[in-house]
Structure 1
Amino acid sequence: MTLKDQSVRVVTHLSQGGDAVRIRIQNTFGSTPLVVDRTTIGHSDGQAGVTGVRSVTFGGRRSVTVPPGEDIWSDPAELVTRPDEDLAVSMYASGSVVPGQHDNALRNNYLTPPGAADHTADTSGSAFTEKVTATYLVSAVDVHNLALRGTIVPYGSSVVDGTGSTICNPGCGVKPVNRRWTDALARRITAELPPTKQLAVANAGIAGTTSAADCPQTPTAFRGLDANTRIERDVLALHGVTDVIFYYGTNDLASGCTAAPILDSYRRAFERLHAAGIAVYVTPITPRPGYSDQNNKDRYTTSTFVKQWNSCAGTCDGVVDFDQVLKDPLKPNSIAPGYDVGDGIHVNMAGQQALADYVPLAMLGSVRKGHR
Structure 2
Amino acid sequence: MHGVAPDATVRQIARVSAPGDGVRIRLGNPFGSVPVQVRDAWLGNSIARGSARLVPGSNRPLTFRGARTVSIPPGQVVWSDPVAISVDPGRDLAVSVYAPGAPVNDHNFPPFAFDPPASYIGTGGNTAADASDAAFPSHPVIPGGTTSTATGYHPGQTWWLDQVAVDRPAARGTLVTLGDSITDGYQAVGPPGQRWTDLLAERLGALPAGQRLAVANAGISGNTVSVQPNPYDPTGQCCGPPAPQRLDRDVLSVPGLSAVLLLEGTNDIGGGANAPGAPAAQVIEAMRTIAARVHARHVPIIGATILPMCLPAGDPRETVRQTVNAWIRTTRAFDATLDFDALLRNPANPTEMVPDLRADCYHPNAAGDLVIASHIPLSVLIR
Same fold (TM over 0.5): yes
* 8 Å Cα contact 1:59-1:75 kept in structure 2: yes
Q: CA deviation at 1:144?
A: 2.1
Share of identical aligned residues, percent?
35
Decide whether aligned partners of structure 1 residues 349 and 356 sit closer, same or farther in structure 2, where only a CA change above 3 A counts: same
In structure 1, C-alpha distance between the alignment counterparts of 2:311 and 2:42, rounded to whole Å = 46
Q: CA deviation at 1:18?
A: 0.8
Residue type of the alignment partner of 1:246: L
Residue of 238, 241, 245 corresponding to 2:254: 238
Q: Residue 62 of structure 2 aligns with which residue?
A: 56
* 8 Å Cα contact 1:26-1:72 kept in structure 2: yes
Range that drifts further, 343-352 or 150-159 = 343-352
Q: Residue 122 of structure 2 aligns with which residue?
A: 112
Q: Residue 97 of structure 1 aligns with which residue?
A: 102
In structure 1, C-alpha distance between the alignment counterparts of 2:104 and 2:54, rounded to whole Å = 22
Residue type of the alignment partner of 1:187: E
Secondary structure of 1:136 counterpart: coil
In structure 2, C-alpha distance between the alignment counterparts of 1:74 and 1:144, rounded to whole Å = 12
Residue of 219, 227, 230 corresponding to 2:233: 219
Count of matched residue positions in the alignment of Structure 1 and Structure 2? 349
In structure 2, C-alpha distance between the alignment counterparts of 1:216 and 1:141, rounded to whole Å = 28
In structure 2, C-alpha distance between the alignment counterparts of 1:200 and 1:164, rounded to whole Å = 23
Whether 1:206 and 2:220 are equivalent positions in the alignment is: yes
Question: Which blocks of at least 5 consecutive residues in structure 2 are unaligned?
Answer: 138-151, 272-276
Q: Residue 185 of structure 2 aligns with which residue?
A: 162
Whether 1:125 and 2:146 are equivalent positions in the alignment is: no
In structure 1, C-alpha distance between the alignment counterparts of 2:120 and 2:61, rounded to whole Å = 19
Secondary structure of 1:20 counterpart: strand
Decide whether aligned partners of structure 1 residues 101 and 41 sit closer, same or farther in structure 2, where only a CA change above 3 A counts: farther
Q: CA deviation at 1:136?
A: 2.2
* 8 Å Cα contact 1:39-1:92 kept in structure 2: yes
Q: CA deviation at 1:146?
A: 4.5
In structure 1, C-alpha distance between the alignment counterparts of 2:380 and 2:168, rounded to whole Å = 21
In structure 2, C-alpha distance between the alignment counterparts of 1:305 and 1:353, rounded to whole Å = 26
Q: CA deviation at 1:215?
A: 5.8
* 8 Å Cα contact 1:335-1:344 kept in structure 2: yes
Kindly report the root-mean-square deviation, in angstroms, between the aligned alpha carbons of the 2 structures: 1.8
* 8 Å Cα contact 2:220-2:240 kept in structure 1: no
* 8 Å Cα contact 2:4-2:101 kept in structure 1: yes
Q: Residue 249 of structure 1 aligns with which residue?
A: 265
- TM-score, length-scaled by structure 2: 0.87
Secondary structure of 1:200 counterpart: strand
Residue of 81, 93, 111 corresponding to 1:75: 81
Residue type of the alignment partner of 1:186: A
Residue type of the alignment partner of 1:259: A
* 8 Å Cα contact 1:90-1:120 kept in structure 2: yes
Per-residue CA shift, 1:167-221, capped at 9, x if unaligned? 10xxx5x5x4xx1110000001112x22321111000011111111126846332
In structure 1, C-alpha distance between the alignment counterparts of 2:185 and 2:129, rounded to whole Å = 31
Q: Residue 376 of structure 2 aligns with which residue?
A: 359
Q: Residue 202 of structure 2 aligns with which residue?
A: 187
Residue of 339, 344, 357 corresponding to 1:339: 357
Residue of 270, 283, 286 corresponding to 2:291: 270
- TM-score, length-scaled by structure 1: 0.89
* 8 Å Cα contact 2:174-2:256 kept in structure 1: yes
Whether 1:298 and 2:330 are equivalent positions in the alignment is: no
Question: Which blocks of at least 5 consecutive residues in structure 1 are unaligned?
Answer: 367-372
Q: CA deviation at 1:162?
A: 0.7
Q: Residue 28 of structure 1 aligns with which residue?
A: 30
* 8 Å Cα contact 2:230-2:239 kept in structure 1: no
